Amino acid sequence: MNLSDSQTGVPAPRRVSAMEAVLGHLRGAIERGDYTIGDKLPSEAELCRTLEVSRPVLREALRALQTMGLTVSRTGKGTFVVASAVEDPTFGDYAASDLLEVRRHIEIPVAGYAAARRTPEDLDRLAHLLDRMERETDTTAWVAMDSLFHLAVAEAAQNPVFRRVIEEIRDALARQSAFLNELGGRREQSNREHRAIVEALVDGCEHDAVEAMSHHLDRVETTLTDIVRAGRPDPTEAGTGT
């Protein structure tokens, strides 16, 4: 979830999914002030009808709006606007900025320890997992393996405290991964970044492992920043949106 293309590659243009189109429409309406803080969005049935999308697509978009902090869903009452701009997405119990800060302090040095301490069994587990991820086409299945990958790297560091920390944030990692893949098209780039991490572990090179994990997290931050800024007006252009 996080990501590089190759360390110098440029991602290819990506088609916008139906969910992204719906999300862009609703986010734009909120940020333009068509819906203001406290307003209730139209019902799911009405939105499906006016936007001509299925209910599963709409619900994905509504979940993304809530992750972005723009709305809140109240059981039996509907979806309400709680912010006029995206500031810091939330993944489960953790804000994106808090999650990334902790990941930098934990996962980067952990990669170095893993390079020095990994066992043949650790390398086999990571190689098998990475092969499965590179073949996987289902986003939900890939996201589950993504969090397992980061847990396996922590296990390779041979320190149970590191494993416990990653276990604690594992749900947030999975939510973040799904968010970045749905809105940032990160899966293929993330696979390449994971491959670089595993190659460094195989070589037993602590420096390369630290660099590969650092690059991976840099790409996570870049993608998150791009998503947050996507709907904001350019300050150099008067009154423009998206």
**Span 209-215, average pLDDT:** 98
In the prediction, which pLDDT does 144 show? 94
User: Quick one: which of 234, 186, 203, 151 has its CA closest to 4?
Assistant: 186
- Judgement on whether residues 54 and 154 belong to the same structural domain of the protein: no
Domain boundary among 81, 114, 131: 81
User: What pLDDT sits at residue 231?
Assistant: 54
**Final residue belonging to a domain, choices 81, 107, 136:** 81
Three-state SS at 40: strand
Question: In CATH, what number is assigned to the domain containing residue 75?
Answer: 1.10.10.10
Q: Picking from 77-91, 119-133, 187-201, which range would have the lowest pLDDT averaged per residue? A: 77-91
Asked whether residue 101 falls in the same domain as residue 122, the answer is yes
Task: Record the tokens describing residue 186, joined without a space.
Answer: 């990160």
Residues 99 and 24 in one domain: no
Residue 27 and residue 94 in one domain: no
CATH code, 123: 1.20.120.530
Alpha carbons within 13 A on the beta-carbon side of 210: 9
Arithmetic mean of pLDDT, 36-42: 95
Same domain, 160 and 215: yes
Looking at the structure, tell me whether residues 60 and 100 fall in a common domain: no
Residue 103 lies in a domain: yes
Q: Region 216-226: what's the mean pLDDT?
A: 94
User: Are 124 and 186 within one domain?
Assistant: yes
This prediction's pTM: 0.80
Q: Confidence band (pLDDT; 50, 70, 90) for 229? A: confident
Instruction: Assess if residue 4 is contained within a domain.
Output: no
Q: Which alpha helices (H) appear in 136-204, and where do they start and end?
A: 139-156, 160-168, 170-184, 187-203
Asked if 65 and 45 sit in the same domain, the reply is: yes
Q: Label residue 78 exposed, middle or buried (CB < 10 Å: 0-12, 13-18, 19+).
A: middle
Q: pLDDT per residue over 54-111, tens digit each?
A: 999 999 899 999 888 899 999 889 999 999 988 899 999 999 999 999 999 999 999 9
Nearest partner of 89 among 233, 230, 186, judged by Cα: 230
**Within-domain flag for 221:** yes
Q: What domain range includes position 123?
A: 90-229
Q: Which residues contact 127 (CB under 8 A, 6 or more apart)?
A: 198
Backbone angles phi and psi of 138, in degrees to 5: -85, 120
Which run of H or of E encompasses 71?
strand 71-74
At residue 189, what are phi and psi to the nearest 5 degrees?
-65, -40
pLDDT of residue 101: 96
Domain for residue 9, yes or no?
no
Q: Are residues 174 and 116 in the same domain?
A: yes
Which domain-ending residue is among 44, 62, 81? Answer: 81
| Domains in the chain, number | 2
* Same domain? 47 vs 73: yes
241 lies in some domain: no
Quick check: 182 pLDDT over 80? yes
**CB proximity list for 215: less than 8 A, separation 6 or greater:** 3, 4, 7, 193, 196
Examine residue 94 and state whether it is found in any structural domain, yes or no: yes
Query: What pLDDT, on a 0 to 100 scale, did the predictor assign at position 233?
Result: 45
Q: How far apart are CA 2 and CA 221, in angstroms?
A: 7
What is the enclosing helix (H) or strand (E) of 95?
strand 94-95
List, for residues 131-165, the tens digit of each pLDDT value.
Answer: 999 999 898 899 999 999 999 999 999 999 999 99
**pLDDT at residue 177 is higher than 60:** yes
- According to the model, what pLDDT value does residue 173 have? 94
Query: 179 and 139, same structural domain?
Result: yes
- Among 9-23, 42-56, 122-136, the least confident range: 9-23
Please tell me whether residues 96 and 181 are part of one structural domain: yes
